[in-house]
Chain A
């Protein structure tokens, strides 16, 4: 393959990964890494380095829209970013000292989990929770957002701040270790543990993903894992794909389409695990 052909193939593959990722509500990173490693035989460290940069691009691109719509809880995001960036630094640091086979194994497991989590229906929890979380009171984390569908301002209260903080650290470690946004871990931490409305959880998670990724990107860059030749088409492609995907239709709701994808993603996860075990 010539460098030109490689750049074009990676670029179009990244558009596909970004588009699919945004349609399924997963990030582009979790899809582009297997494409780069399994199909294009790129070293997984370069794949991770390229992916982490694309994660920043999509997060910053999407965060801009979410912030304007006032869905993001900025104060909560800032507080939890202390946990996610610490986690990301831990993850990125550990990744450099871990044998490549472990990266494949962990990636396979996280991918399988994310695919299942995406597939399972999330029932919206009762919106109003009585919060006895004094930390959340002191830090004034409670907020409200404008629900366009209902046409009203919805106030909500934050609870279990400490538990959320710990879960965010774990999400940060996974993000730093594998070069993915790990939104599949961040959203449930806010939605299930801290009882935030799902729209706020998604927007806030997306907002935090960029900052988290920036922390590990610094480590990857200094280590020489961000190969410009791989990262350039990946970053440009994933961002373009995610932009197209989010405009194409809001989300893929059809159960049948989602079940096809969940099977494909599980199969890819098994391939990654297999590569780690050999």
Chain B
């Protein structure tokens, strides 16, 4: 490989790194903003949370009721439910590294690196499998 093309290669890599870096930060900030909004909405919808102790039991002991599927969360967000908005924010947070891996797949395709395109696709596949796996046993 010539020095010139190697230099270009490095510059491409740095560009990818910068994009990933911004993506991660943006994802984290956005998702936490959604989580905080959801928490505030929960308290506005349920003023009894400010004084009722039995309510805490319902919310934090096993058997607490909250959406457990992406569609359930989506449905709840449509109805402006606080807990669903919180979960949507948390799912967004979980999605940040997934999107990061997806961007890396494209980066390796762009660099025409077959082995690493495949490796990154495997990681992406495993991440997507996690949602299916958890659902299958439930």
Residues of A within 8 A of B (CB): 1-4, 6-7, 42-43, 45-46, 53, 56-57, 59-61, 63-65, 67-68, 70, 72, 74-75, 78-79, 81-82, 85-86, 88-89, 92-93, 96, 139, 210-211, 213-224, 226-233, 235-236, 239
Contact = CB atoms under 8 A, between A and B. Distances in A.
Contacts of B3: none
Interface string B21-52: 11011011001100110110011001001111
Contacts of A222: 68-69, 130-131, 133-135, 138
Given A220-B134, A232-B39, A211 B119 contact: no
Contact of B56 (A6, A65, A218): A6
Question: Which residue of B68, B69, B127 has the most chain A CB atoms within 10 A of its CB atom?
Answer: B127
Contact of A211 (B31, B69, B127): B127
Given A78-B119, A92-B130, A68 B18 contact: yes
Interface residues of B, number: 68
Contacts of B68: 221-224
Nearest to B36: A236
B116 A78 contact: yes
* Majority DSSP secondary structure for residues of A touching B: helix
A70 B11 CA distance: 12
Contacts of A235: 32, 35, 90, 93
B131 A78 contact: no
B contacts with A: majority SS: helix
Contacts of B24: 60-61, 63-64, 67, 210
10 contacts: A53-B93, A74-B13, A79-B119, A85-B126, A85-B127, A92-B130, A96-B137, A210-B97, A229-B86, A235-B35
Contacts of A1: 53, 56
Given A228-B38, A236-B35, 5 more contacts: A3-B46, A4-B43, A92-B130, A223-B138, A239-B28
Interface string B104-138: 10000000000110011011001101110111011
B80 interface: no
